[in-house]
Structure 1
Amino acid sequence: MSDGARLNDYALSVEDVSIRFGALQAVDGVSLQLPAGARHALIGPNGAGKSTFVGLITGTLRPDSGRVLLGGHDVTRTGFSARVRRGLVRSFQVTSLFSEMSALDSVLLAIAEREGRSARMLRPLGRYGAFVDEAGEILRSVGLIGVAKRPVSDLAYGQQRVVEIALALAARPRVLVLDEPAAGIPAGESTRLFEVLEGLPAEVALLFVEHDMHLVRRFARAVTVLAGGKVLAEGTPAHVAADPAVQDAYLGRRGAGLHA
């Protein structure tokens, strides 16, 4: 199999990326490959380089070296918007952007933006029947159809985070990147959020940064551990939890987080 064929097998391929900020080597030669349908967690201690690495993937940062490919296409020198057009989506922060709109209108606007029609959305919603139907179906798929017409600000925080997922789905992603999706959500609501993520379309590759090791163990099929800007370990949650280097650097000697 040729190199090109292998690259096209991955929804996302990050090849040996590095970036330095002054004297700080924030990310140092990190590689990551996500096939379609991946459910991959990125973990590591504070200062490990996780957020910087996500910035390199999504295009808000440009690496000093290495490559980022989406579906085999090199997007290393392109920005965030160009990567979105190629199917890489990072979740919206709806609590600040869409709080006074209903969940339905928020998703409808995201669909219109995808179709290049957002500037015309002052017309009555009835003129966009196909968009309304799609928005309703997305909200139904994530369990929010019952609150579709309520303002986002009136929803529980966990439901607001699910609206973020719905907005991301409106962009029809091939790769979905979530940075700490369960942050600030009570345990019961975070489980529901990850059940929604587990039910994403089979072809969508999911990469999520998460500190809750119970959620990582339950929902991730593969885990990459960063420490000091480098990959410390990679494998299944069970494999990572058993790695002595991971236990020393991050989880504690007994690796209690992933075994909980």
Structure 2
Amino acid sequence: MDWKGEFYIGETSLVYRGRAADNRPHAHATLQLTVSLGSDISIKDDHDRLVSGVALCVKAGKRHTLSPADKAVLVLIEPQSQLAHFVQSLCGHDDVSVMDPSFIGQVNWQGDLKTLLNDLERASGRVSSQMDLRLLEALNFLRTAQLKSAISQAAKACGLSEPRLRAIAQEQLGVPLSKWLIWQATRRSAQAMAQGATLADAAYAGGFADQAHLTRTMGKIMGVTPLQALNAGQ
């Protein structure tokens, strides 16, 4: 079974709706919200614990495998965002947990994907982010930065030493800053693919050395190859 559906890429989120197919064990630099539009969906964590429900949450940086599903919504949410803090407030403490069911009715999961993300953002309005302002400044710098030497440059830009910036990021994001940076590069490549770029051009847009580099990286952090992602949206 292949991935087949539609994508929308927001400022700090990526949403996919459609068929969820085979994927390898992987860990995102983002929090993952998964909502089934049919029967319960299942996700296995890195300890072979299988969690099932209508809506599931996977913490940022935690390895997992999503079981195939005919129709589901996957939302990858950057951990520094207000939306991530809101979703996390409704989840348990496990790597993979069942979402509060009252949350499901607040969003039209079948509607336009941009509107879906807007609904989520509105629902998150009552939960505020407590991120260090220096970290937020560094993340803003890194959002469009190339991979080489980016973190040391971001540290200088926000007035921190590189080790201190990395430590704050690990504590507050839940993932290494290098992984968050690679997520941004992959996100830029995914955005280029969504706009019709070839895989080679998408790799260049993300700052990867070549198409093979993009393929290896996307497999590790999204569980699918660029070709699978490209075919899913066609």
Confirm or deny a common fold (TM above 0.5).
no
Higher relative contact order (CA 8 A, sep 6+): 1
Give TM-score scaled by structure 1 length.
Answer: 0.26
